[in-house]
């Protein structure tokens, strides 16, 4: 496979809220596949001469979403076979209700090299821009729900948990989640010094992750859920 895909988060709306790394990926792209929520003003921030811009946006209620996703997947495959560098540009952050998991599975299955470049998600970006902090002193949790799905307590327990600032307390956190009904065997990934050159990642389960991070000394983020299987 000669080509490559960069999956880039464009941010929550304002074109200037894209990251510098996201802009650099767009600058070196041959083709940009962009979604409906991407502000077209973003393309005025860089020189798009010679780049092919292809709108692949999907909106709820405008047709068969699964079929349109298959079309996008096949387009990425065809372009990469031709040696093109592709930016798959998504609104917000691609990993928050953005079908990133589906596209990663497709790219891995077809041997297509890829890199994910995070973006500012609407859930925190819009709130902050509106002057509303989602946490304050004493806050201990933040739940993000999709309004397109039905949910109950069982749905929440089987969803994804992200635990911040818990390196020294992860065993206690894990025990509490197990008490709430999350299986001890649920997969966990711990990321120390995330995004930095000295980033370190280990995999485990809710029952043993505290043992696997004993040597960690830096800021550590824990991700708990089935999505952990997507990490090689």
Residue of 58, 76, 90, 93 marked catalytic? 58
**Each residue's pLDDT expressed in tens, for the chain with a length of 232 residues:** 689 999 999 999 999 999 999 999 999 999 999 999 999 999 999 999 999 999 998 766 566 778 889 999 999 999 999 999 999 999 999 999 999 999 999 999 999 999 999 999 999 999 999 999 999 998 888 888 888 777 888 888 888 999 999 999 999 999 999 999 999 999 999 999 999 999 999 999 999 999 999 999 999 999 999 999 888 7
| 39 labelled catalytic | no
- Cα–Cα distances in Å, from 116 out to 47, 89, 113, 189? 22, 10, 10, 17
Q: Where are the alpha helices (DSSP H) in 162-205?
A: 170-180
Kindly report the length of the chain.
232
CA 72 remoteness from chain centre: 18
Q: The domain at 153-230 falls in which architecture?
A: 2-Layer Sandwich (3.30)
Residue 4's contacts (CB-CB under 8 Å, 6 or more residues apart) are 80, 85, 86, 112, 113, 114, 115
| Residue 113 near residue 4 (C-beta atoms within 8 A) | yes
Q: Which CATH architecture has domain 4-124?
A: 3-Layer(aba) Sandwich (3.40)
Rg (CA), the chain: 19
Given 108, 165, 226, 231, the catalytic residue:
165
How far from 34 is each of 104, 168, 171, 194, CA to CA, in Å?
Answer: 17, 41, 42, 27
Out of 35, 39, 76, 93, pick the active-site residue. 35
For this structure, is 165 an active site residue? yes
Concerning whether 90 is annotated as a catalytic residue, the answer is no
Q: Where are the domains of the chain?
A: 4-124, 153-230
- In this prediction the pTM is 0.89
E strands, 61-211, where?
Answer: 85-90, 114-117, 161-164, 187-192, 200-205
């Amino acid at each position: 496979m000669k080509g490559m895909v960069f999956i880039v988060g464009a941010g929550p709306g304002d074109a200037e809220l894209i990251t510098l790394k996201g802009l650099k990926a767009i600058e070196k792209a041959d083709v940009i596949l962009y979604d409906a929520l991407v502000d077209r003003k973003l393309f005025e921030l860089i020189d798009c001469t010679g780049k092919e811009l292809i709108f692949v946006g999907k909106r709820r209620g405008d047709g068969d979403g699964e079929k349109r996703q298959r079309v996008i997947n096949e387009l990425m495959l065809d372009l990469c076979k031709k040696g093109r560098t592709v930016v798959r540009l998504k609104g917000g952050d691609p990993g928050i209700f953005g079908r990133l998991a589906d596209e990663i599975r497709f790219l891995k299955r077809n041997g297509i090299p890829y890199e994910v470049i995070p973006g500012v998600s609407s859930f925190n970006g819009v709130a902050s821009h509106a002057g509303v902090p989602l946490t304050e002193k004493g806050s201990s949790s933040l739940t993000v729900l999709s309004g397109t799905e039905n949910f109950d307590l069982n749905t929440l327990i089987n969803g994804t948990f992200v635990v911040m600032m818990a390196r020294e307390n992860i065993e206690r956190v894990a025990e509490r989640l197990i008490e709430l009904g999350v299986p001890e065997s649920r997969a966990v990934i711990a990321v120390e010094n995330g995004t930095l050159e000295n980033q370190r990642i280990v995999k485990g389960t809710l029952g043993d992750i505290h043992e696997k991070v004993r040597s960690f000394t830096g800021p550590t983020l824990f991700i708990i859920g089935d999505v952990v299987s997507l990490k090689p």
